[in-house]
Structure 1
Amino acid sequence: MQVTMTVNGESVTRDIEPRLLLVHFLRDTLGLTGTHWGCDTSNCGTCVVQLDGEPVKSCTVLAAMAGGHDVRTVEGLEQGTTLDPVQQGFMECHGLQCGFCTPGMLMTTRALLDKNPDPSEDEIREAISGQICRCTGYTTIVRSVQWAARHSDGATAEQSTTEDVPNDDATAGAVR
């Protein structure tokens, strides 16, 4: 069957098998390998992309279901050589370690900030609750999201530091 969708602002049309998952369409057909393929059961969240602005786990969406819709992957965050504030925040506040969960976290965070530019810590934790990070303990991820919220104008590392986000040492290693 043939499917047409917009991916990162470009219209794409391809012949696909009806059972092809969106994660495989993005990675194998389009070569957009920033979207990771993890558990294959929708538990880990590494495969999150945006479908019409909503975060979805692309391992549970058929490529055919995305036909006629707008898909945004982690590759679609960066504009030229300018990182999205979400990407910059994860870099500034060490919101990643191994990096496997990072693309899904970034896409979920961007969707959250698009809807709520000033989320509370609880709202951030709720938004990322569908994703598993085995490395960070989530505290640095929350700080990264807070940094991005405070720098939605696209501030860069030269313009700000991680001191812009409070560091509560009592919860630095806590997992909530």
Structure 2
Amino acid sequence: MGKFFTKATEQKTLFSAWRKIRSNGLRSTSFETRTGIEKFDRDAISNVKKIQRSLRTGKFEFEPQYGATVKKGSGGKRGIVMASVQNRIVERALLETLQEKSKFIKAVNSHPTSVGGVPNRSVPHALQMIDEAFRSDQTQFVRSDISGFFDHIPRSSVLERIAEDVDDDAFNQLL
């Protein structure tokens, strides 16, 4: 096991991921999401240890995900993918490990205009940047929150770029 896989599968990392997933899930408007979180939470310690064991023994498999549509504020609908609590915990642990250990991901996240999914940055940070730009007489902007943006990212290219930075076959295979 390489250092990335070891870090991602440590109990500390998995419990950190669980806390984030739990916090977000309990605020979800989705009944299925809240129910899944509450069920997992009944024996969270045992459940997280079970995930760790299956990861470290090479027996972990992502559970099937399913699609759903949710209403948008504008009246339309958008498609989302519903993942199990187990899947979300592992995905979050992978993300946290990349954000902490990958030079490539750190470089992307440290770009001054990166806000989505970046630790300690979010919508308020983005709005503050826009306010500052307008106050400094900049009156034009480019909208980058494009509908369906992530549907068109070449996944294999992204994974190849991460693999160049992350010399850990077990981690890259899981990712």
TM-score, with normalisation over the residues of structure 1?
A: 0.25
Greater Rg over alpha carbons, structure:
2
Higher helix share: 2
